[in-house]
């Protein structure tokens, strides 16, 4: 996990954010990265302006208390994990975070998920960061296993023909390989393919194609998809323990189901969609997957991504 150098943890300064801060601190420690905390919160109404100092100090103290517990759990000293804390009051918190990322070049944003930790999907601010933040976004849910037992899965679509999409797939594979090496050591790669015309040829369209011939056609399509996936893995230059989950299925159904059945802890995926416009729109498949998963998520965007949020 030498990919990250400058990490920003986004806090609300209230509630229990120890799971998220623990994951951010662990990544920072292993990567040798700097870690900063930005508390985003609403501004006090004008009639409470005299309490502003105490308000900000209370938010910082809450984060510092959590940091002390995290350092104890990770067996780190304050010198071993120095963290600066800032408070940013105002509206549109996601946009304020993104502007700071743009100004200061953070290469990873970490945040604990909004709402109940075990619910599927992500709420408004989390989704806004996934859609608009130019740096990778790590949204944390509780992980109760020791690091050596944490399971990492990466979702790959080898069918994309554009250079940008291919480069993103290679980045996903390399980053998830590094992440898996710091955890269980086994990288799980999931890739789904569909043959939509199958049902029509079998049931709806009066074309004289035997079931045997159709099965051969489908098998060839699956072999082609798998060959493209293997080629991407080879191009990424990754090795080590690896388990491939290659299925003819809808990704938005299969991937969340696989995560639940195999108890994967971290999903790494790209948020792909239309290119050629500033701040592309997240694709339907990615949206549907994100609304069904209940594990931690590390999401990457293409290098060419331009945030719609102006610096």
Q: Please write the tens of the pLDDT for every residue from 4-33.
A: 999 999 999 998 999 999 999 999 999 999
Assess whether pLDDT exceeds 80 at residue 161: no
pLDDT at 160: 75
Looking at the fold, whether 134 and 228 belong to one and the same domain comes out as no
Assess whether pLDDT exceeds 50 at residue 279: no
Identify the domain boundary among 83, 109, 142.
142
pLDDT at 2: 62
pLDDT at 27: 93
CATH number at residue 180: 3.40.50.12370
Residue 282 CA, distance from chain mean position = 13
Per-residue pLDDT tens digits for 224-267: 999 999 999 999 999 999 999 999 888 999 999 999 999 999 99
Please state, for a pLDDT cut of 70, what percent of the chain lies above it: 88
Identify the domain boundary among 87, 113, 142.
142
φ, ψ of residue 155 to 5 degrees: the values are -100, 125
Please state, for a pLDDT cut of 90, what percent of the chain lies above it: 65
Its pTM stands at 0.90
CATH number at residue 59: 3.40.50.620
Range of lowest pLDDT (65-74, 164-173, 191-200, 259-268): 191-200
Instruction: Tell me the average pLDDT across 155-174.
Output: 89
CB 302 within 8 A of CB 167: yes
Looking at the fold, whether 195 and 300 belong to one and the same domain comes out as yes
- Rounded Cα–Cα distance for residues 286 and 49 (Å): 43
Which string of b and e fits 145-179 if b means at least 16 CB within 10 Å?
eeeeebbbbbbbbbebeeeebbebbbbbbebbbbb
Looking at the fold, whether 129 and 154 belong to one and the same domain comes out as no
CB 301 within 8 A of CB 270: yes
- Residue 76 belongs to domain spanning: 1-142
CB 225 within 8 A of CB 191: yes
pLDDT at 275: 44
Looking at the fold, whether 193 and 252 belong to one and the same domain comes out as yes
CB 89 within 8 A of CB 42: yes
Identify the domain boundary among 142, 176, 205.
142
Looking at the fold, whether 10 and 157 belong to one and the same domain comes out as no
pLDDT at 205: 52
Assess whether pLDDT exceeds 50 at residue 280: no
Per-residue pLDDT tens digits for 56-97: 999 999 999 999 999 999 999 999 999 999 999 999 999 999
Assess whether pLDDT exceeds 70 at residue 116: no
- Rounded Cα–Cα distance for residues 134 and 102 (Å): 8
- Rounded Cα–Cα distance for residues 85 and 105 (Å): 17
Residue 297, classified by CB atoms within 10 Å of its CB into exposed (0-12), middle (13-18) or buried (19+), is buried
HSE (CB half, 13 Å, CA atoms) of 194?
10
Looking at the fold, whether 174 and 195 belong to one and the same domain comes out as yes
Q: Strands, DSSP E only, in the chain?
A: 6-11, 34-41, 83-89, 108-112, 137-140, 152-155, 187-193, 242-248, 266-270, 296-300
């Amino acid at each position: 996990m030498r990919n990250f150098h400058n990490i920003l943890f986004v806090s609300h300064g209230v509630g229990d954010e120890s799971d998220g801060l623990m994951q951010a601190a662990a990544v920072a420690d292993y990567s040798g990265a700097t870690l900063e905390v930005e508390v985003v919160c609403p501004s006090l109404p004008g009639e409470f302006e005299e309490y502003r100092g105490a308000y900000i100090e209370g938010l910082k103290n809450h984060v510092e208390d959590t940091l002390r517990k995290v350092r104890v759990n990770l067996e780190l000293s304050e010198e071993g994990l120095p963290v600066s804390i800032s408070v940013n009051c105002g509206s549109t918190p996601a946009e304020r975070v993104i502007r700071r990322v743009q100004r200061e070049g953070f290469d990873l944003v970490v945040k604990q998920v909004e709402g109940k930790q075990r619910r599927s999907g992500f709420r408004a601010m989390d989704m806004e960061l996934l859609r608009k933040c130019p740096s990778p976004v790590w949204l944390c849910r509780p992980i109760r296993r020791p690091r050596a037992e944490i399971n990492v899965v990466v979702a790959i679509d080898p069918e994309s023909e554009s250079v940008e999409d291919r480069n993103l797939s290679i980045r996903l594979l390399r980053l998830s390989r590094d992440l898996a090496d710091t955890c269980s050591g086994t990288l799980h790669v999931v890739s789904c393919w569909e043959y939509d015309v199958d049902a029509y040829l079998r049931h709806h369209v009066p074309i004289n194609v035997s079931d045997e011939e159709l099965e051969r056609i489908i098998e060839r399509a699956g072999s082609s998809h798998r060959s493209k996936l293997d080629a991407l893995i080879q191009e990424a230059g990754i090795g080590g323990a690896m388990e491939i989950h290659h299925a003819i299925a809808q990704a938005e159904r299969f991937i969340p189901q696989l995560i639940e059945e195999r108890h994967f802890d971290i999903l790494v995926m790209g948020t792909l969609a239309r290119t050629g416009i500033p701040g592309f729109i997240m694709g339907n498949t990615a949206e549907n997957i994100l609304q069904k998963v209940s594990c931690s998520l590390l999401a990457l965007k293409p290098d060419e991504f331009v945030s719609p949020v102006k610096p």
